[in-house]
């Protein structure tokens, strides 16, 4: 884990392997600073997390998450953006 950070897929796998039941990717999609698609990071995180049995919380950018209502924040909303 160089630099203390996971790559997106690694974050999804790491969260699942650490015993977490729920994970939320952060710091993605707000800026176009990479050579990959803006939603690539979250797609890799979601795929890896679901593969390990995690529930993935994906609130909309800027949305406040209510920890007692996590099921309301699991929509894959970015897939509807052209």
Q: What's the pLDDT tens digit per position in 66-75?
A: 989 999 999 9
pTM of the model: 0.75
Q: What's the pLDDT tens digit per position in 10-30?
A: 666 566 567 778 888 887 777
Question: In which element (H, E) is residue 56 found?
Answer: strand 55-56
Distance CA 80, CA 8 (A): 21
């Amino acid at each position: 884990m160089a630099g203390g950070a996971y790559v997106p897929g690694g974050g999804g796998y790491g969260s699942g392997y650490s015993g977490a039941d729920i994970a939320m990717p952060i710091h993605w999609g707000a800026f176009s600073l990479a050579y990959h698609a803006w939603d690539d990071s979250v797609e890799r995180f979601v795929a890896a997390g679901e593969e390990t049995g995690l529930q993935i919380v994906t609130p909309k950018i800027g949305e406040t998450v209510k920890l007692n209502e996590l099921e309301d924040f699991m929509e894959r909303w970015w897939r509807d953006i052209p």
